[in-house]
Structure 1
Amino acid sequence: MINSEGDVYKLNREDTFSYFTSTDVTTNDIAISEEGIIYGITANGLIEIKKGTHEVLPNTEGMYGNSLVYAGSGDLYYIHKKSLYRYNVNSEAVELISNFDLGTPGDLTLYKGNIIFPNSIIPIDGSESYSRILAYNLKSGLISEVACSDLFGVSFGITNVFSNCKSNKVYFTNLNYPWENLYTVDLETGEIAISSIKVPANNIFGLASSNEYLAADCHEELRTKNCRSIFSIDEFLSESTKVYPNPTNDIITVNSKVELDLIEIYDMNGKLVRKIEDPENGTSIKNLSSGNYLVNLHHKNSKKIIKVIKK
């Protein structure tokens, strides 16, 4: 990962980050080649990150953006002025791939032959804005919504840890509280969880993995979500469901105008500490340690997350 100061960190086997290298220019995102070369995207072009410095890649001056991913064979993909471009570090050629008129707050990754990126939208009819993850299929050129959450609107980093074409783990950052941990998202189910991996600071500009490029050779059309309809449900749940008292030292009461299917309580390390199926009016957290918890309230395809303080 890279932060706003240009410091690059690597993830160790113990799931902790340590300093790796740095660059002398503000870098909005990074990508890693097969050989371990670290590339970046800045306000004035694509760069190769050296030890404490950088080198602008030929023919990329003026190509700016927030997002970058390496797809193998020297290909770097990035979004510039809401269009998708490809740059090959071997031929030094820049190619326009799609005028899809889409932006992202900060990153790209690869997943099952798709370029994946967070995106927010403000509907022209004046209805509620919403955030989602989009997939651009490298083979067909089709774009689809594959996950929906307000968290994606403030996600500057996203990456995929590749195992094989059927097994991937997608991580993303979140600028809102709790920002201390990386999040995971299952792009098949849309399920989001807080991982146990802690980030160095709340100024992460980009994520990259050393093997996400392998996912470019997989080819699969992903299941499409309808984020607008899901966010309409979420808005109703948000307005109709309350949790109190907060803080509490024992019982939390859930007052909801809709029938909840499930209540899950997570600690701040992302560990599930309590699961209540077919919940009624409340639950006791008396036996939990003092601290902050995330209470997930589920209703059909909608989920509301509330931070609760246990005294």
Structure 2
Amino acid sequence: MEKRHRRSTMLFSLLFLLMLVIAVGSFIFGVKIGVNKTEDRYKSDQEAAAVLKTAAPASQQDLVSFYNTVFLPYSEFQTKWLESERALSQGKLTKSESAFTKLAKLAKQQYVEAGTVNMQNIQLLGSAQTSYLRSLKLFGQAAEEAAAHAKKLKNADLSASIAADVNYKTAIKQQLAAQQLFYDGMLQWNASVDSSIPAHYSYNPNMKLAAWNKLPLIVKNKLMADQLKSVNALTEFYPQDLASRIDALVKGGQAAKLKLVTLSDAIHLLSDTNAVRSGDYDSSKTKLYAGEQLPVPFS
């Protein structure tokens, strides 16, 4: 009996040691894989940075091509996503599973379309294309998750689930990064053909509206792309829409009457009152920017 007990104890000890060795080995192997992946990703980033340094600056034709082949397909998806998101929050999206399944399919379609023209040899636009593509891929994954959750969750719970989704959050960040790069590319091109326009201009929320009023539209658009990225906001409107609404406040005299002094004052007012809409720029550009050279491709 004692020998049998001793043999069982020894067998148990050997099995425990074997499991411990396997666990430690798996941990080390996992760490090694993780390190290799990180190094590969770092190398890829370095290679991308090297390509970007040697890439040619954007031309007017490049900007128009990017607008038509990358920006517009993405914008179409963004509009559909925001429509479904709004309908869901209002309790009007009766077939949530079907709606998000369609969005996942649309994201894949627009991903293919936005990648048909290779912009990687063009400064800023190559990085912008990459970020737009990443955003579409992540939104597609978020849509698939939302469609799966829609089988059990309804309205507010589903909205909360989407808002908490990591793919959704990262997709927004990628979209805003892409948008900023695109608008920066437009600014740099305009600066290359017009020496009065600065090639670089950083967003400052404390800028006085009097100083803002003297800036060219292309600079204002770039600053509003910076601003939207800084607040991590996915909106139905675009930087030029926000810029034109600020200009309407300033040039119409309302900013002075409301005692708005800084750029931040105006943005907060417009944001708090939901006063900016997609298409605001198009409907006001003839009135607000007559005689001003309009930025390509929003002329």
TM-score scaled by structure 1? Answer: 0.21
- Could you say which structure has the higher strand fraction? 1
Please, what TM-score do these two structures have when normalized by structure 2? 0.21
Q: Which structure carries more helix by proportion?
A: 2
Larger RCO, structure (CA 8 Å, separation 6 or more):
2
Larger Rg: 2
